[in-house]
Amino acid sequence: MPELPELEIVRDVLGKRVGGKTIERVELVQPGAALVVRDLTGRGFAKTLTGTTITGVSRRGKFIILELARLGAAPGSDVLQSNLVINPKLTGRLQLASGEVKRYKKTAMVLTLDNAAELRYYDDKAMGQLYLTDHVERIPEFEGMGPEPFDITRAQFRERLRQYRGEIKGVLTRGEFLAGIGNAYADEILWNARLHPYRKRTQLTAQEIDRLYDAMISTLRESIEILRAEMSENIHLEPRDFFNVHMKTGEPCPHCGTVISAITANQRITNFCRTCQPGGLIRGM
């Protein structure tokens, strides 16, 4: 699943490559499009997008937002401004390509721009959503998101954390706590903080909470820089070979050499080092 670091690269690349471009053609490819497209405007997905200009690209949590305007429309026009909000979830990806490049099998939407480039959305399991809306707060899970990790101070982090009592990995991945952190980066953050993922928030000392905050900021920032180099403008890629523990089951911990453990719960795999991250549960590999 793309998380904050990958989506920051997507936002940056799209801002440079599609910002200011006009959508000349919209193609919805069945059956994938029927599963992922959500027109919250009621004006028609393809009809509304065609002829609009992408005036900005932003990210909020795990959502990418294309800000659209029908330039030259009369003031008060009901299609003057709208947003295409992309929530890729587990398997959705965006691709920038020329029309000559072969499409991925599960491509659901293609936007042809006025420079002949194509912005494509493909999703192997049709789990993500593409929302066309005039009001982003209407999108499920959008309004209740917590602050961005880079927008919160250490003191604010401590204060927000007091509201939760569960296992610390579960807290980190709750969108209402902080936006943009998912399963993969939570593993990496907790490894860097030397905290067991199943430690209860109420068990953490003030020093450990400070360590967690520092690890969150450094892990996300360093990952963004690595991804910027590895992805370049290939926004459909999701390189994660640089991870230290996530999906490294059975490999040696980069710090101490202990075999990386794995626990599967709630349909997700949690990886950690039992030596560097002591405490928590005993079961698992």
CB atoms within 10 A of CB 154: 12
Active site residues: 2-3, 62, 268
Tokens 């928590």 locate to 280
Cα Rg of the chain, angstroms? 21
Tokens of 233: 């403008």
d(C-alpha 123, C-alpha 24), whole Å? 23
Residue 117, beta-bridge partner list: 98
Nearest to 195 by CA among 228, 171, 175: 171
Helix (H, G, I), strand (E, B) or coil at 73: coil
Tokens of 30: 């069945």
d(C-alpha 105, C-alpha 204), whole Å? 47
Where do runs of H (alpha helix) occur along the chain?
4-17, 32-36, 45-49, 154-161, 168-172, 183-193, 206-231
Q: What is the dihedral of CA 171, 173, 175, 181, to 10 degrees?
A: 130
Nearest to 190 by CA among 206, 162, 170: 170
d(C-alpha 108, C-alpha 282), whole Å? 43
